[in-house]
């Protein structure tokens, strides 16, 4: 007679491991047993990684200007997949806008994807109010 208890225990272990792995992928929190090792690996990686130099705000302003012109070209154009091109251009603009605001110490909303029109307007207004132009 096969060892049913051993098979069930093995199945529970495999399912538990899969659930922990999926939870780690979706939330970013590793399983409890792996956390010390992951912290040590991250600390080693952080010590070896050079600290990047900050990008000057003038370069970020130039990038915002370039991306704004690109968005206008995409909106006016009639190339295929216009919606996807417009979405990609706006996401790039939002990313550059956040970087510019961080560079000049303006608070930045946390957004996983792009910014809403209201958030974009408030960030652009804050930049203009602080004397920055692009």
- pLDDT at residue 62 in the model: 96
- pLDDT at residue 46 in the model: 87
Is a pLDDT exceeding 60 seen at residue 1?
no
Q: Would you kindly state where each structural domain of the chain is located, as residue ranges?
A: 4-48, 57-129
The residues, any chain, with a CB within 8 Å of residue 68's CB and separated by 6 or more, are 93, 134
Smallest CA-to-CA distance from 91 within 110, 116, 69, 72 is with: 116
For residues 93 and 88, give the distance between their C-alpha atoms in angstroms, rounded to a whole number: 9
pLDDT tens readout for residues 86-127: 999 999 999 999 999 999 999 998 777 788 899 999 999 999
């Amino acid at each position: 007679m096969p060892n049913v208890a051993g098979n069930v225990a093995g199945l529970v272990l495999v399912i538990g491991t899969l659930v922990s792995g999926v939870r780690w992928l979706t939330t970013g929190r590793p399983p409890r047993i792996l956390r010390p090792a992951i912290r040590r690996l991250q600390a080693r990686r952080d010590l070896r990684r050079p600290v990047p130099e900050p990008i000057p705000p003038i370069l970020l302003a130039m990038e915002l200007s370039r991306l704004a012109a690109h968005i206008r070209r995409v909106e006016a154009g009639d190339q295929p997949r216009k919606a996807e091109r417009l979405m990609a251009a706006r996401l790039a603009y939002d990313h550059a806008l956040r970087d510019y605001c961080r560079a000049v110490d303006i608070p930045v909303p946390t957004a996983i994807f792009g910014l809403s029109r209201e958030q974009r307007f408030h960030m652009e207004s804050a930049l203009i109010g602080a004397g920055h132009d692009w």
